[in-house]
Amino acid sequence: MRGMMTPDRADAARALLAFYAEAGVDLAVGEAAVDRLAVAGAVSAPTPAPLPRNGLKPEPARRDLSPPGAPPATPDAAIMAARDAAKNAPSLEALRGILEKFEGCALRATAKQLVFADGNPQAAVMFVGEAPGREEDLEGLPFVGRSGKLLDRMLAAIGLTRTNAYVANIVPWRPPGNRTPTPQESQICLPFIRRQIELANPDILVCLGGPATATLLGVKEGIKRTRGRWFGYDTGTREIRAIATFHPAYLLRSPLEKRLAWRDFLAIKKALDGAPRA
Ligand code: URA
């Protein structure tokens, strides 16, 4: 009888599923496993071009060897495609539309939807986190889960809500099982969040957690050293002030650090009070 499992195998399958769920794997992506190393190997080792003959100059190499209209074939090609696409967005709405169609980041295929932003894009302050989690993926809005609730309480403590703050993430698609985005995924998404910041044009940028701080501010030191420090951030059209603070998810795990985060939020309030928007 095809499809029937012996009790032993059914127990083993249940145990394996429980193990996956415990590890955060809560999403089935396909029926069969894909050997991504084999795929990457095929892409990253193209056949060498023939040597030029008859003294003719060889054709200049194309950056992206994928056919026109196809997703970029390599991470470098995806980063170039992201840069080209992002810089052409004339508005935040246009940027959202471009991201909806962008095929250079594989996370788009496993996420339920794009998580672009929440709050007021005209606000003087913009908060940037790492990547959406399960709740954000379901709702299509950043920071709506447990860490979002804590972020809202921290905002409220300095007189902010989502009507006078703008919130987004470095990576706008949920990584499967809430894993950390790879450096490659962050680099592919970086041109989009940079353009989003440029178009929203806040006076103050707040990086939530180490990955957002490292990606946006390019600092190598860990968040424990960088939090509470002010940096200059070049939006592309002007220099604004940027500060790093702990990610709310970290504060949920390490509540004693909330007193340091509170200091950072007081510094953000002071900066906002000192530079009110007209
Ligand atoms: N963590 C983040 O970094 N961003 C979210 O939107 C939710 C959780």
Write out the E strands in 81-236.
118-119, 125-129, 166-169, 204-208, 230-234
Percent of the chain with pLDDT over 70: 78
Percent of the chain with pLDDT over 90: 72
Which segment of 59-68, 109-118, 121-130, 204-213 scores lowest on mean pLDDT? 59-68
Average pLDDT, integer, range 23-50: 53
Task: Write phi, then psi, for 148 (nearest 5 degrees).
Answer: -65, -40
Q: Is the pLDDT of residue 245 over 70?
A: yes
Task: Write phi, then psi, for 206 (nearest 5 degrees).
Answer: -115, 120
Q: What is the reported pLDDT for 40?
A: 45
Q: Is the pLDDT of residue 16 over 90?
A: no
CA 212 to ligand 1: nearest atom? 3
C-alpha distances out from residue 150 to 121, 141, 193, 251, Å = 21, 15, 23, 9
Average pLDDT, integer, range 269-278: 88
Ligand 1 centre distance from Cα of residue 196 (Å)? 17
Tally of CA atoms within 13 A in the half-sphere of 221 that contains its CB: 9
Which segment of 8-12, 140-144, 182-186 scores lowest on mean pLDDT? 8-12
Who has greater pLDDT, 7 or 157?
157
Q: What is the reported pLDDT for 166?
A: 98
What residues does each domain of the chain span? 75-274
pLDDT tens digit sequence for 89-143: 999 999 999 999 999 999 999 999 999 999 999 999 999 999 999 999 999 999 9
Q: Is the pLDDT of residue 26 over 80?
A: no
Torsion sign (Cα): 96, 100, 106, 107: positive
Ligand 1 centre distance from Cα of residue 243 (Å)? 17
Q: Is 137 in the pocket of ligand 1 (CB under 6 A)?
A: no
> Residue 275's pLDDT band (boundaries 50, 70, 90)?
confident
Termini Cα distance of the chain:
74
Q: Is 251 in the pocket of ligand 1 (CB under 6 A)?
A: no
Q: What is the reported pLDDT for 10?
A: 78
Average pLDDT, integer, range 62-84: 80
CA 115 to ligand 1: nearest atom? 6
In DSSP notation, 196-212 reads HHHHH--SEEEEESHHH
> Residue 70's pLDDT band (boundaries 50, 70, 90)?
confident
CA 170 to ligand 1: nearest atom? 3
CA 247 to ligand 1: nearest atom? 3
Q: What is the reported pLDDT for 33?
A: 63
Q: Is the pLDDT of residue 60 over 60?
A: no
**Helix, strand, or coil (residue 37):** helix
Q: Is the pLDDT of residue 47 over 60?
A: no
What CATH number has the domain spanning 75-274? Answer: 3.40.470.10
Ligand 1 centre distance from Cα of residue 63 (Å)? 33
pTM score of the predicted model: 0.78
Ligand 1 centre distance from Cα of residue 141 (Å)? 9
- The residues near 230 (Cβ < 8 Å, ≥ 6 apart) are 241, 242, 243, 267, 271
> Residue 238's pLDDT band (boundaries 50, 70, 90)?
very high
Ligand 1 centre distance from Cα of residue 59 (Å)? 45
Pocket test for ligand 1, best of 118, 143, 180 (most atoms within 8 A of CB): 143
